[in-house]
């Protein structure tokens, strides 16, 4: 009986050890998004997918899961040009990120904030596409608007 017990535990441990390299590989794959990316953002009509406008942005996906970005987008009402947020690896080539931008009117008074959540797919080490939604809130946290957008990105070359 004891021998059966030991054999069972041994079998379980062998399976766990064999799974170890796989876990390590997935962790390395999750870090492939790290770096600085040149992004083209296309806000779209959620119902039809029709593009509304496009603008450029640069996103930094930092080690540890932080994201910071700057955008050339203007939009109406003075869209925030700087964003901060987080990113995570979901599986294989799939990632998700969420960013926040503060919005200002024409005279520089803050009017609200926007939260953007996108699902991202890496086509290869140097290219990805993403799509998702945005939600706009007043400074008191009251929802005021929502939208959709997609992006196409290419990695900033190493110096």
Partner 1 sequence: MKNNLVSLLAVLFLSTATFAQEARLSPGGGQSRPHHNDLVGTWDARVSVRNCATGMEILSFLSTGNFNEGGTFSGITSGSSPTARTSERGVWEHLNGRNYRFRFKAYLYDPSGVATSYQVVTHNIRLSRDREDYTSEGISEVFSMAGAPIGTGCSTSVATRMTID
Pairwise CA distance, residues 62 & 36, whole Å: 8
Residue-wise DSSP of 24-71? HHHHHHHGGG-EEEEEEEEEE-TTT--B---EEEEEEE-TTSEEEEEE
Size of site (CB under 8 A) for partner 1: 52
Tell me the three state secondary structure of residue 22. Answer: helix
136 binds partner 1 per the rule CB under 8 A: no
Choosing from 45, 52, 74, 84, the residue that interacts with partner 1 (CB under 8 A) is 84
Count other C-beta atoms under 10 Å from residue 151's C-beta. Answer: 20
The DSSP element (H or E) to which 150 belongs, if any, is strand 143-155
Choosing from 41, 101, 120, 153, the residue that interacts with partner 1 (CB under 8 A) is 101
* Nearer to partner 1 among residue 137 and residue 156 (C-beta): 137
116 pairs with which residues across the strands?
99, 134
Residue 24 Cβ, how far from partner 1 at the closest point, in Å? 5
Pairwise CA distance, residues 38 & 83, whole Å: 14
43 binds partner 1 per the rule CB under 8 A: no
Of residues 3 through 42, those in contact with partner 1 by CB under 8 A are 6, 9-10, 13-14, 16-17, 19-21, 23-24, 26-27, 29-31, 34
80 binds partner 1 per the rule CB under 8 A: yes
Site for partner 1, rule CB under 8 A: 2, 6, 9-10, 13-14, 16-17, 19-21, 23-24, 26-27, 29-31, 34, 62-68, 80-90, 95-98, 100-102, 104, 107-110, 113, 117, 139
């Amino acid at each position: 009986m004891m021998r059966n017990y030991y054999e069972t535990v041994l079998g379980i441990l062998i399976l766990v050890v064999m799974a170890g390299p796989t876990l390590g590989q997935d962790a390395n794959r999750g870090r492939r998004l790290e770096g600085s990316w040149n992004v083209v953002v296309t806000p779209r009509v959620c119902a039809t997918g029709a593009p509304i406008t496009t603008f450029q942005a640069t996103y930094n996906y930092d080690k540890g899961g932080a994201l910071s970005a700057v955008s050339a987008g203007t939009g109406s009402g003075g869209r925030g040009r700087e964003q901060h947020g987080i990113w995570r690896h979901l599986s294989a080539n799939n990632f998700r990120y969420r960013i926040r931008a503060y919005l200002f009117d024409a005279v520089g008074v803050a009017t609200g904030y926007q939260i953007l959540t996108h699902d991202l797919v890496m086509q290869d080490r140097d290219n990805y596409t993403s799509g998702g939604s945005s939600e706009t809130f007043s400074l008191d946290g009251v929802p005021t608007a929502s939208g959709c957008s997609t992006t196409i990105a290419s990695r900033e070359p190493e110096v």
